[in-house]
Amino acid sequence: MDLPQLKTKRLRLRPLTYNDTDRIFEIFSNPDVTRYWGHDTLEEKEEANEFIQRTISGSKDESLLEWGIISNQNQELIGTCALSGLDQEHHRAEVGFALHPQYWGNGYMIEALPAILRFGFIKLKLHRIEADVDPRNSSSINLLEKFNFQKEGLMRERYFINGEIQDALFYGLLRSEFKRF
């Protein structure tokens, strides 16, 4: 699938390219970003290249759709937002997102997430979008609940990331529950 650009008032969401390697490394080598990410912190720039290669391959086979979030103000890559685990048979996917800490608290994900949800529910005709979040990640939990995601369960000690055992809360949003923000 050719990943389309999505636009909001302050942001442009576009496919990642290898030109984004340095910025992806800067974002995902930061332990504050990866604390609840689901993967270990990047330690070498080559891992950022591999990250981008996975997004390019995932877009081709439609298993992972990952957008870079670009600030219209400075044209800088400030984070990523993705639909992963796309399951056409069951019409579902999982949403994930991350921002550079410099941009936390400015409402950027409140703006980016609806664009991804609209794309999933309208363009991909998904029935359900899921999210998996660490129970300590109150910012992500608040964001999901703002968009009507419902808490569906807790999986205890599901991940071992950066040397730490982590629980996972599962959230789900059905197309019928999606409010078009």
The answer to the question of residue 39 being in a domain is yes
54 part of a folded domain: yes
* pTM for the model: 0.94
The neighbouring-strand residues paired with 162 are: none
Angle between helices 138-146 and 108-118 in degrees, nearest 10: 50
The domain of 73 spans 6-127
Read off the CATH number of the domain in which 13 is found.
3.40.630.30
Q: Looking at the 3D structure of the chain, how many domains does it have? A: 1
Count CA atoms within 13 Å of residue 103 on its CB side.
24
pLDDT tens digits for range 85-106? 999 999 999 999 999 999 999 9
**Domain for residue 36, yes or no?**
yes
Burial class from Cβ neighbours inside 10 Å (0-12, 13-18, 19+) for residue 29 reads middle
pLDDT in tens, 118-152: 999 999 999 999 999 999 999 999 999 999 999 99
Cα 73 from Cα 64, distance rounded (Å): 27
